[in-house]
Structure 1
Amino acid sequence: RSTMACAEARLSRFNKLGDPAKLREKRIAMCVKLRKDQKNEHIMKRRTITLSSLSDKEISCTSLEDIVRDVNSDSIPSQIRGCQAARKLLSERDSSINEIINAGLLSCFVAFLSMDDEPTLQFEAVWVLTNITSGTSWHTKRVMDHGAVPAFISLLSSPMLHISEQAVWAVSNIAGDGPMYRDVLIACNAIPALLACISPDTPLDFLHNLAWTLSNLCRSKNPYLPGSVVQQMLPSLIMFLHLSDKNILSQVCWAFCYLSDGENNRIEVVLRTGIIPRLMELLNHEDTYVVIDAGCLEVLPKLLRHSKSSVQKEAAWALSNIAAGPSKQIQQLINCGLFAPLVELLRSGYFKSQREAVWVVKNITIRGTMDQMIFVIRIGALEAIIRLLQVPDAKVVMVILDTINNLVMAAEKSGETEGVCRLIKELGGFAHIEMLQNHENVVLRKAASYLLDKCTEVTTQTESTDQRR
């Protein structure tokens, strides 16, 4: 058998992780679940805010019949009372959305949106409609069919801040429901109206809602967001990226993740904004989970494959810092499919980028679980770093020797020493390490001799046992 065939057989014998194709399917499913969880979290926040924002003065328990009567009344106080009772009902259970729609109240709520002389009624009506648009796509469509979109967009410029902010919530719900509804918003000039809400005086909570809305606008594809609209939004997204609020950073990172999805020309638009230094700064922030949970890692595979060596290097450097964190962070790197482009970089990237990529692998051998290390081996990282033992940079070679030694020590703890050492040998590791025993660097020579002796002892003992059998 060929050397690589032996290596593959070795991997299949000691690997406990299972079939690679099934593992890939599992990782994809995990990523999908993470996205769904993120979307569901937004909905829960909306509901929580709705419930916690109710007046301390209890709205009396009102039947649907009472709500219909009050909303259709000619009395403003009664209409307000009806809207309040409706939004309380909507806050308590999802099934009430259908009840409100079937009662024929949507046209009344939409009509109330234009009553600028009655801001309380206006606010209650937009709140009710916001909760309805938080339901299914059909619920959102029913609101739109009653002409609510132009009214929502008009309310974005309301002098009453709480009304404007509630209108942003409604627009965001619609934007997150798919490209068709998103394009309706764009056609109604929602983008300029939303961007006009952003100013140095805008409260932080309001900015968070605006960032979430812009992210929802970027989310949908088939078709993607038009390039002209992206250009309109980029200055505000870049501004948001330089704020320190965790919620805003999370939303804007998702936005850039969506914008960079698809063809290379889309990620080029993002790269030309000059956000990479800030993105890398965030990825190396003490609060790394903020950016990881935001989906920022999904941008990085394309950065690792970028034609510019400086971009490759920065991306690999950021990943090495994330890999230096707990095993949970390392698992995020695996789940997001970052190791395939990382191995490509180790095999054929620019040397400065490869140097940073080597640190990613080393950090995993320090902080990762044995299963995570086996995954990294199986995807080709061990073979790639063994080939780099030939580079003239003594520091890089030393890092690789440390990495291989870490793998062997981890294997000792899990009873996989023989499998790992034989794999190192079959991948050409012994030959390269043996040559390093003649290196001019004394420390490197000693490290190579120590590692070779350790691995050789294990494989020799095993071979002797096999021969006696």
Structure 2
Amino acid sequence: MTVEVMDVDVNFETGENMVFQAKKADMRPMQVMDDAIGEDDELEDEENDLLDEQVLTLCDSCWALVEMTLHDSAVVGGIVSAGLCPRLVELLYISQSSIILAPVLRLLGNIVSAEISFSQAVIEAKLLEVIPSVMTTTSRAVREEACWMLSNIAGGQEEQVVAIMNAPGVIAGLVEQMSWAEYGVKREATWAMCNIIVRANVEFIKEAVRMGVLQSFCPLLDEWEDPMVELVILEAIESLLQKDPQEGRIAVEESGCLAKIEELSYDQNDDVSSMASQLIDTWFDNEGDEADSSLAPAVVGTEQTGEALNFQPVQGDVQFNFNQS
């Protein structure tokens, strides 16, 4: 059978610089190597060559589907309807190569971004169970794609956010990437965590604070000057304070985030400075006034002005020591 296919010239790990050329090709089933491979070097070389060819073909196919899902939403529905989600997730389990992992994760990310029901289909295909191991790879591109996909899932329904929170190792993996990873990975991991915090309960937020999430926010509020990320973090901090005002204020201050927020209140970006100022005015600006209220004199009425200062008497005995040493 002859069909129209796409020949892709890409950076296999990142998917950048894609050049698509339409051509005719014969679709054929992938050859299966015999399980019993002898000791003959020629057979081993043939197997390696075949596997390399298969890997590159699979990589090309995934990047082609990625491009198609960007331009035609119906393709995403077709992938899900055809039952390909479990197969794509399976590739994350069996492959260690970033050449395969990066395009598969990008394709899955496009799928979960399309519709909430598609996100559920990917979750049911056991995606979250394999994500912790994916995030341990040395490939920056793979870790960035994984975190980006999680942020898209976390932007969905509450049940999907709960699935992320309950999946073993996923939250710990995000926190780890937030603490040390390259900026692109750190940015996506932070975005995912902020999406989760906004929808999470108090118990989860307390655990996230204990794991050091707020400390990981600080560099992104200070060093990188990325207004979009700063706004996402400020929104997450606001949600944290709304859900746990007492302990939340202490945690934000002790983590160093409050100092960064105060600096952002003078930021050149109007949206960032406005939100930072609002957080300070709402949650932190009255702390000093409350602490010193006992020192202020009370106000009582008078005939002339209607108000007067009424100083409180000193409690207890007052002793004066006039002895000079």
Paired residues for 1:33-432 under 5 Å: 54-60=15-21, 75-187=54-166, 188-198=168-178, 202-221=181-200, 225-232=204-211, 233-247=213-227, 248-265=229-246, 267-268=248-249, 269-292=251-274, 295-296=275-276, 299-300=279-280, 302-303=282-283, 306-309=286-289
Alpha-carbon displacement from aligned partner over 1:282-303 (angstroms, at most 9, x marks no partner): 10233343343xx445534532
Task: Give the count of matched residue pairs.
Answer: 259
Label 1:281 to 1:205 Cα distance change in 2 as closer, same or farther (>3 A).
same
Label 1:73 to 1:249 Cα distance change in 2 as closer, same or farther (>3 A).
farther
Label 1:277 to 1:135 Cα distance change in 2 as closer, same or farther (>3 A).
same
CA distance in 2, matches of 1:71, 1:302: 64
CA distance in 2, matches of 1:311, 1:85: 63
CA distance in 2, matches of 1:171, 1:163: 12
Alpha-carbon displacement from aligned partner over 1:46-83 (angstroms, at most 9, x marks no partner): xxxxxxx75434234599xx9xx789886433322321
Structure 1 regions of 5+ residues with no counterpart?
1-52, 313-347, 352-389, 393-469
Label 1:93 to 1:116 Cα distance change in 2 as closer, same or farther (>3 A).
same
**Which structure features the higher share of helix residues?**
1
CA distance in 2, matches of 1:270, 1:138: 36
CA distance in 1, matches of 2:57, 2:237: 46
Percent identical among aligned pairs is 16
Instruction: Answer yes or no: is the 8 Å Cα contact 2:197–2:240 preserved in 1.
Output: yes
Counterpart amino acid of residue 100 in structure 1: I
Q: TM-score, normalising length from structure 2? A: 0.67
Structure 2 regions of 5+ residues with no counterpart?
1-13, 33-53, 297-306, 310-325
Instruction: Answer yes or no: is the 8 Å Cα contact 1:182–1:217 preserved in 2.
Output: yes
Instruction: Answer yes or no: is the 8 Å Cα contact 1:237–1:252 preserved in 2.
Output: yes
Instruction: Answer yes or no: is the 8 Å Cα contact 1:107–1:146 preserved in 2.
Output: yes
CA distance in 2, matches of 1:249, 1:70: 50
Deviation at 1:128? 0.4
Deviation at 1:138? 1.0
Equivalent residue number for residue 6 of structure 1: none
Instruction: Answer yes or no: is the 8 Å Cα contact 1:109–1:129 preserved in 2.
Output: yes
**Which structure features the higher share of strand residues?**
2
Q: TM-score, normalising length from structure 1? A: 0.48
